Structure 1
Amino acid sequence: MELTTQQLNESIYDATNALLFEEDYLHIKNAIDQLHVLFSGATGVKAGNITDEDIYLPNGKAVSTIKAAHCLKELERTRRFIRGINQAIEHLSDTIQGRTLNILYAGCGPYATLLTPLTPRFTSAQINFILLDINSDSLAAARGLYEQLGLSEYVIDYVCTDATTYRFPHNVQTDMVISETMLNALRKEPQVAIMNNLIPQMRKDAIFIPEQIIVEAVLTRWKEEYNSFTIKDYQPKRINLGEVYCASREFKLPHPVVIQVPASETHNRLDLFTEITVFGREVLTTYNCSLTLPLAICKLENQKKDMAITFEYVMSDKPRFAYKY
């Protein structure tokens, strides 16, 4: 039996409440599955076998429509972003009163995953969206989703363009920008280039999501990491070497950083760790999702003395932290 628009939105509301307030992962998984069934049914885009192509840009790749749909299925990633964005909207609602909040979602994908679940919680008089994606198939799917769900009144515009060059419209006050266009250690995808373009255009009281991205250099040992997966509450012993980069609302492009690496007889793998603060206390830490998996840089075999490694961020079609020692 086909659901009415009201029933669809009630189903989204129930699933969103589970993401916002439940701690039981079975309930959270069921909520994610429920959203996927609704969104894929409305758009025809299913997070199944990836048969489409990424789009390669001067500042990094934009993922394919099906890959973008898959992002919904990462439980901790989705729920932390949904919780953080919900809190950010509530914060702005308390500080900016008397008008509609305008949110730019750069890289919205086919489901506008990080905003659509929140539509039953806020009216279109409270929040409006500009949905932006360089992938025309993804943007068309998002438009179709909003039309089928009866949510078109939330959307100011659908924009098919590169977020690294997009300019804010003069007739819209932008209160929040969301861009989750990254992989672990800020490689391959254009998150840094997008922040470099969009954040300078934002008003001082506007919020960028995620609030902060930290990349750190860490010496690890396989046995310690393995124990953290197999032994309950085990805290792996690591050697933290320092911050390689921090991206935040006070945005600055990465500059070369020299990291001092002590000689170690036990820890022989140099990794980059990523921590993402969505908003407030909503933080994604190591192993929470694909965005925070440690990125192995190199093995330091038979290291008898301290050494220095220089990290430099490469802004190119394949953005990444390059290193030399």
Structure 2
Amino acid sequence: MELTTQQRNESISNATNALLFEDDYLHIKNAIDQLHLLFAGVTGVNAGNITDQDIHLPSGKAVSTIKAAHCLKELERTRRFIRGIYRAINHLLDTIPGHTINILYAGCGPYATLLTPLTSQFTAAQINFILLDINPDSLEAAKILYEKLDLLDYVVDFVCTDATTYKFPDSVRIDMIISETMLNALRKEPQLAIMNNLVPQLNPDAIFIPEHITVEAVLTRWEEEYKYFITPDYQPKRIKAGLVYRADRKFQLPKPVVIHAPASETHNRLDLFTEINVFGGEMLKTYNCSLTMPLAVCKLENQNEDIAVTFEYVMSDNPGFTCTF
């Protein structure tokens, strides 16, 4: 028997409460599964076998509709982002009382994963959305979802366009932007190109989610990383080589940076580590999800002295950091 709109929204509310306020991972997994079952049932987009194609842009890859649906199923990623956005919305409601918070979601995918659950926590008088995606199939699925869940009061507009060139409408004050269009070490996808376009358009009090992203060069040792997975609470020994880049509200594109990798007899792999602060201390750290998996740069064999490594970010259809020695 098909659920009523009220039953669907109660299901979203229960799952969202678990994501926001529970720490038991079984409850969190059940909440994610519950949301996926509901969203997939309504939209017809299932996070199953990936049979559709990505969209290739001059600024990087826009993931396919099914890949975008899969993002929901990364537990820690979804939980941390939703908790951070929940905190950010409450912050804005406190600082600009009586004002409807207008949120631009750049790369919303078929489920608008990071905002749809929060309709159970805030009214349409408190938050409104512009849902933007370059993939017409994803945007059409989001429209169907909001129509069938009776949530259209939350949506100012559905926009099918490239977020790297989108200009804010004159009629809407944007108070928050959400863009989670990245892979680990900011490669392949257009997160920075999107930030480069959208952040300068924000008013000074507006919030960009994630609040900051850092990419750091680290010397690692395979045995130490392996122990992390087999020994509870083990802290692997690593050697930090230096900050490669930090993206935040004071946005600037990466400039070439020289990192001095120290000599080491034990740590012979140079990796890029990514950490993401969503908002208000809601962090995604190394190994928490696919966005924060270490990216291997190279092996440093017979390293008897410091090595200078230059990292440079290439803005192209395949963006990412290159390194030269």
**TM-score relative to the length of structure 2:** 1.00
2:20–2:79: 8 Å Cα contact kept in structure 1?
yes
Q: What is the count of residue pairs matched by the alignment?
A: 325
CA shift at 1:120, angstroms? Answer: 1.1
Report what 1:280 is aligned to: 280
Q: Distance in 1 between matches of 2:129 and 2:261?
A: 46
Question: Which one-letter code corresponds to 2:252 in the other structure?
Answer: K
Give every structure 1 segment of 4 or more consecutive aligned residues whose post-TM-superposition deviation is greater than 3 Å.
none
- 1:106-255 matches, within 5 Å, as 106-255=106-255
CA shift at 1:301, angstroms? Answer: 1.0
Report what 2:25 is aligned to: 25
2:93–2:99: 8 Å Cα contact kept in structure 1?
no
Report what 2:88 is aligned to: 88
CA-to-aligned-CA distance 1:280-311 (integer Å, 9 cap, x gap): 11000000000000000000111122110000
Q: Distance in 2 between matches of 1:284 and 1:99?
A: 30
CA shift at 1:258, angstroms? Answer: 0.2
Report what 1:42 is aligned to: 42
Quick one: percent identity of the two aligned structures? Answer: 77
Secondary structure in 2 aligned to 1:272?
strand
Question: Which one-letter code corresponds to 1:268 in the other structure?
Answer: N
Q: Distance in 2 between matches of 1:284 and 1:305?
A: 33
Secondary structure in 2 aligned to 1:119?
helix
CA shift at 1:98, angstroms? Answer: 1.8
CA-to-aligned-CA distance 1:154-204 (integer Å, 9 cap, x gap): 100000000000000000000000000000000000000000000000000
CA shift at 1:228, angstroms? Answer: 0.6
Secondary structure in 2 aligned to 1:218?
strand
CA shift at 1:99, angstroms? Answer: 2.1
Q: Distance in 1 between matches of 2:306 and 2:187?
A: 27
Secondary structure in 1 aligned to 2:120?
coil
Q: Distance in 2 between matches of 1:58 and 1:51?
A: 23
**TM-score relative to the length of structure 1:** 1.00
Q: Distance in 2 between matches of 1:278 and 1:256?
A: 25
**Larger CA deviation: 230-239 vs 63-72:** 230-239
CA shift at 1:36, angstroms? Answer: 0.1
Q: Distance in 2 between matches of 1:284 and 1:223?
A: 23
Secondary structure in 2 aligned to 1:51?
coil
Q: Distance in 2 between matches of 1:318 and 1:218?
A: 23
Secondary structure in 2 aligned to 1:296?
strand
Q: Distance in 1 between matches of 2:133 and 2:198?
A: 14
Question: Which one-letter code corresponds to 1:290 in the other structure?
Answer: S
Question: Which one-letter code corresponds to 2:9 in the other structure?
Answer: N
2:32–2:75: 8 Å Cα contact kept in structure 1?
yes
Q: Distance in 1 between matches of 2:237 and 2:100?
A: 49
CA-to-aligned-CA distance 1:61-119 (integer Å, 9 cap, x gap): 00000000000000000000000000000000001122211000000000000000000
Q: Distance in 2 between matches of 1:274 and 1:4?
A: 42
Long gaps (5+) in structure 2: none
- 1:49-60 matches, within 5 Å, as 49-60=49-60
Q: Distance in 1 between matches of 2:203 and 2:233?
A: 43
Secondary structure in 2 aligned to 1:156?
strand
CA shift at 1:206, angstroms? Answer: 0.3
Q: Distance in 2 between matches of 1:3 and 1:305?
A: 66
Q: Distance in 1 between matches of 2:232 and 2:135?
A: 42
Q: Distance in 2 between matches of 1:75 and 1:5?
A: 25
Q: Distance in 1 between matches of 2:80 and 2:257?
A: 30
CA shift at 1:143, angstroms? Answer: 0.3
Long gaps (5+) in structure 1: none
Q: CA RMSD in A?
A: 0.5
CA-to-aligned-CA distance 1:143-162 (integer Å, 9 cap, x gap): 00000000011100000000
